[in-house]
Amino acid sequence: MQKREQLYAGKAKSVYLTDDPDYLILEFRDDTSAFDGEKVEKLARKGMVNNHFNAFIMGKLAAAGIPVHVERLLSDTQSVVKKLDMLPVECVVRNIAAGSLCRRLGVKEGIDLTPPTFELFLKNDALHDPMVNESLAETFGWATAAQLTRMKELTYQVNAVLKKLFADAGMLLVDYKLEFGVFKGEIVLGDEFSPDGCRLWDAETREKLDKDRFRQGLGGVVEAYEAVADRLGIKLPK
């Protein structure tokens, strides 16, 4: 597959066209951002870790029957993915209260959420990714009612698969964000699943093993991501 011109450079990944109009190359960079781009740093090895992490998780989801965009790893920092028409809403499921839920509703971090919650956010850094709902998404044309139903269904399916995967490796999947797009009329999971876009805690100590280490200045960010990868059995290059 031939890499062509850059289509887009996001906060953490770059997207390249290829000689096949149905496929893109997604490049995971070391850039790490939080608070909608307000805090940005380069963290050595993060791009490589997240690329391998994402390919592993997407492989598990595909095996469970969830349509995903990742085709294959191309290099340590690049993957070949289906070219999706991305929908500008982010789907968030929470199993345990943390982050913006605690700030917005005044609930205590760490309480169990039963049943797990589902939230939609508009992907818009300038507006700080405001929370929206299905009515707003339909009215403004961000997604159709049928697309929203399918995204919600797939987001919960991902929860069933990944809660168990992380639990079996001694971790709690606290919450996560998914982005979907359309490929030949079908809703497909795009973007990435990595510790950059979810919260993971050690099941015993509740130590944070995800991007909250960066957001909260706790240090050891990539070391924590690598420890999670190791527990899942992901083989990373030295």
Does position 34 interact with ligand ASP (CB under 6 A)? The reply is yes
Residues 198-227 that bind ligand TMP (CB under 6 A): 198-199
Q: Residue type at 163?
A: K
Does position 15 interact with ligand ASP (CB under 6 A)? The reply is no
Backbone conformation region of residue 99, classed left if phi is above 0, alpha if psi is from -120 to 50, else beta:
left
Residues 42-101 that bind ligand TMP (CB under 6 A): 90, 92, 99-101
Comparing CA positions, the residue from 190, 192, 172 lying closest to residue 182 is: 190
Question: Which of the listed partners (ligand ASP, ligand ADP, ligand TMP, none) does 34 bind, with a CB threshold of 5 to 8 Å by partner kind?
Answer: ligand ASP
Does position 36 interact with ligand ASP (CB under 6 A)? The reply is yes
Widest CA span in the chain: 51
The Cα angle at residue 42 between residues 39 and 44, in degrees rounded to 5: 145
Residue 70 token pair: 């990742």
- With CB under 6 A as the contact rule, the residue among 82, 177, 208, 213 that binds ligand TMP is 177
- With CB under 6 A as the contact rule, the residue among 129, 138, 202, 207 that binds ligand ASP is 129
Contact pattern for ligand TMP over residues 109 through 148, marking x by CB under 6 A: ------------x-------x-------------------
Sign of CA dihedral 204, 205, 208, 209: negative
- With CB under 6 A as the contact rule, the residue among 3, 17, 23, 37 that binds ligand ASP is 37
> Which secondary-structure segment (H or E) carries 18?
strand 13-18
**156 three-state secondary structure:** helix
The Cα angle at residue 24 between residues 18 and 29, in degrees rounded to 5: 110
13 or 213: CB nearest ligand ADP = 13
**Minimum gap (Å) between residue 193 Cβ and ligand ADP:** 11
- Name the site residues for ligand ASP (rule: CB under 6 A): 11, 33-37, 129, 211
